Amino acid sequence: MTQTATRSTGDPAASDSPEIVVGSSPVGTEDFSLRFAPRHYRRWTPAAVAASALGGIAYLADFSIGATIGVSHGTTNAIGGILIAAVLIFVSSFPLAYYAARYNLDLDLITRGSGFGYKGSIITNVIFVTFTFILFATEGSIMAQALKLGLGVPLWAGYAVSCIIIIPLVIYGMKLLSKLHSWTNPLWLVMMFVPLIVLIIKDPHSVSAFFAYKGESNGVSFAAMMLSAGVCLSLTAQIAENIDYLRFMPPKTAENKRGWWAAVICGGPGWVVLGAIKQIIGAFLAVYTISILGQGTDVAVEPVHQFLNEYRQMMPGWLAMTLAVALVVLSQIKINVTNAYCGSLAWTNIYSRSFKKYPGRVWFVIFNVAISLALMEFNMFSVLGFVLSFYSNLAIAWIFTVAADIAINKYLLGLSPKIPEFRRGMLYNWNPVGITSVVLSGGISIAIFFGAFGSGIAPFSPLIAAAIAVVVTPIMAILTKGKWYLRRSDDGIGLPMFDADGNPVDDRLTCAITGESCERPDMIASALPGPDGETQYVSSLALTLDTSGKHVLPADPPRS
């Protein structure tokens, strides 16, 4: 067959629901879960994409985290830890967010070409998917607490309700999620911050009580700050969820570059600014609950009680209860649609590369939610601080390794290709650069966390994880001379990959396996010529699922 390139018309009506059937799954409803997000599909404005990414951080775990570390370590140590974590998260998240928005790839695809290899990034997918079901379980537990307090629903039933209502909202991906966040963001902001302002105006003494609170600590100490930061740093992997939205950014041009950059920063690393504010508010409300209202610490760390105490300062008790429960339910829906969505993408990537099959993202939505439900039923919320502190070591190992590869290996050393590669055949299956960095930084920091090198250094395990990742990643690239990044330097396609502005082009090629018309960045030449000896092309997804491997191009000659 003769393969021709065609340029997308850009007409929204022409391909409003791009679709290819793989197995029994319409990819048009699955948001290109295993591949580059094509230009013709990305019709949202930069502001709309950023709003969707930020809508996913309506989670209430921040309030519980802030409350927990505030009660344990006192206000000063808690705020210090929150700010330390925020700076580290912002710095490590920025290069990842830029690559996702510029090249329209999710973090798994970026990770493949940033030191891990085609199959090596499966390791980091496991780290990420763990984050999605831990956070889902945390948010579902908070919602169940609200349903129990407001409606008398037993916790076990509340856990089930918090899961069931999410599944139908997630199935249709970015199109529905974008609308959901756009409609609910203003309401969420009003319900979140107006009661707080009213409380402070009516009771200004609450502010001085907050700053004077010592908690269970023995005073201000850097170790206590780092213990606090360790819990907060568990949210480092949140950037991966934001990137699942940022990959739908429109092309960056001279006309939209200011808005484009603002959206990337706000919707990417900027999430941590709002996250840090929420954590400090959570600590404030916990102190208010304990010091001013005289309630117990077990109540103080539950967001529904925090919000209820706020609302009671400005309205009758019955209305305060109604709004507090409504705010928790709204927040839980906003974040858990994102957790379920992003978790399903990660599971799909893991499964498809491991077994070369694609049962569909929807099945993994259900699977991820089921794991979350099991964690809720086992009362994971009661050991939330420990779980998040432990997990932060793995999250940091992954994110800082990829960030170091982009910032140092790609731009400073030039050993890692600047253009992110993700296609099978173009990459080696395994790259020792990223894998070694994650194993060493994650393994050593976890050993430190559990006291293997003494209790005095244990609080610093997150910082040590970051430091090891930043150091080992370039060292491994230098030692291997960067030869494990690209298996091939040429994908066999004569058309340019990028336009004059450096954006992925929208020229189309037809896949020889499926007959699907895909954009040039998602395609690669086949090793098999056509009937008349012409070059054939295959899509990245078709090549991922090709069990025979006959379409995979041969590797370049070994480098010396």
Residues 203-236: tens digit of each pLDDT: 999 999 999 999 887 788 999 999 999 889 988 9
pLDDT grade for 56, boundaries at 50, 70 and 90: low
pLDDT of residue 19: 32
DSSP 162-173: HHHTTHHHHTTH
CA 107 from centre of chain: 8
What pLDDT digit, counting tens, does each position of 122-181 carry?
999 999 999 888 989 988 998 999 999 999 999 999 999 999 988 887 776 556 666 666
pLDDT of residue 11: 32
pLDDT of residue 313: 85
Q: Give dist(CA 22, CA 369) in Å, integer.
A: 23
The answer to whether residue 202 sits within a structural domain is yes
Distances (CA, A) of 303 to 50, 144, 194, 210, 332: 26, 11, 16, 17, 11
pLDDT of residue 264: 96
Q: Is it the case that residue 25 has pLDDT exceeding 50?
A: no
pLDDT grade for 475, boundaries at 50, 70 and 90: very high
Alpha helix (H) residue ranges in 379-526: 384-404, 432-449, 461-480
Q: Is it the case that residue 385 has pLDDT exceeding 90?
A: no
Residues 6+ away with beta carbon under 8 Å from 147: 153, 157, 158, 161, 162, 325, 329
What percentage of the chain carries pLDDT values higher than 90?
Answer: 59
- Region of residue 135 (left: phi > 0; alpha: psi -120 to 50; beta: else): alpha
Beta strands 507-510 and 6-7 are antiparallel
Structural domain harbouring 194: 6-384
Beta bridge mates, 486: 427
The answer to whether residue 336 sits within a structural domain is yes
What pLDDT digit, counting tens, does each position of 307-360 carry?
998 888 888 989 999 999 988 888 888 788 888 888 888 888 888 888 888 777
Instruction: Identify which of 347, 402, 394 has the alpha carbon closest to the alpha carbon of residue 97.
Output: 402
The secondary structure of the chain in percent helix, strand, coil, rounded to multiples of 5, reads 65, 5, 30
Out of 25-39, 211-225, 411-425, pick the least confident: 25-39
What is the domain-level CATH number for residue 175? 1.10.4160.10
The answer to whether residue 436 sits within a structural domain is no
The answer to whether residue 28 sits within a structural domain is yes
Instruction: Identify which of 113, 36, 103 has the alpha carbon closest to the alpha carbon of residue 425.
Output: 113
**pTM, two decimal places:** 0.86
pLDDT of residue 5: 42
What pLDDT digit, counting tens, does each position of 481-502 carry?
999 999 999 999 999 999 999 9
Give the three-class secondary structure for 208: helix
Q: Is it the case that residue 7 has pLDDT exceeding 80?
A: no
pLDDT of residue 383: 81
pLDDT average, residue stretch 90-109: 95
Beta strands 25-26 and 21-22 are antiparallel
* Residue labelled with tokens 């930061």: 229
What pLDDT digit, counting tens, does each position of 358-374 carry?
777 788 889 999 999 99
Q: Is it the case that residue 20 has pLDDT exceeding 60?
A: no
pLDDT grade for 61, boundaries at 50, 70 and 90: confident
The answer to whether residue 527 sits within a structural domain is no
The answer to whether residue 68 sits within a structural domain is yes
Give the three-class secondary structure for 503: coil
Instruction: Identify which of 101, 93, 112, 98 has the alpha carbon closest to the alpha carbon of residue 349.
Output: 112
The number of domains in the chain is 1
**Is-contact 121 110, C-beta < 8 A?**
no
The answer to whether residue 463 sits within a structural domain is no
pLDDT of residue 31: 57
What pLDDT digit, counting tens, does each position of 512-532 carry?
999 999 999 999 999 999 999
Instruction: Identify which of 25, 22, 36, 35 has the alpha carbon closest to the alpha carbon of residue 513.
Output: 22
* Residue labelled with tokens 């690239």: 477
pLDDT average, residue stretch 57-63: 80
Instruction: Identify which of 192, 220, 238 has the alpha carbon closest to the alpha carbon of residue 92.
Output: 238
What pLDDT digit, counting tens, does each position of 250-284 carry?
999 999 999 999 999 999 999 999 999 999 999 99
The answer to whether residue 439 sits within a structural domain is no
**More confident site: 135 or 10:** 135
pLDDT of residue 178: 63
Instruction: Identify which of 168, 190, 122 has the alpha carbon closest to the alpha carbon of residue 352.
Output: 122
Give the three-class secondary structure for 21: strand
CA pseudo-torsion sign 27, 33, 34, 38: positive
pLDDT of residue 18: 32
Q: Give dist(CA 323, CA 64) in Å, integer.
A: 19
CA 503 from centre of chain: 23
Torsion angles phi and psi, residue 406, rounded to 5? -70, -50
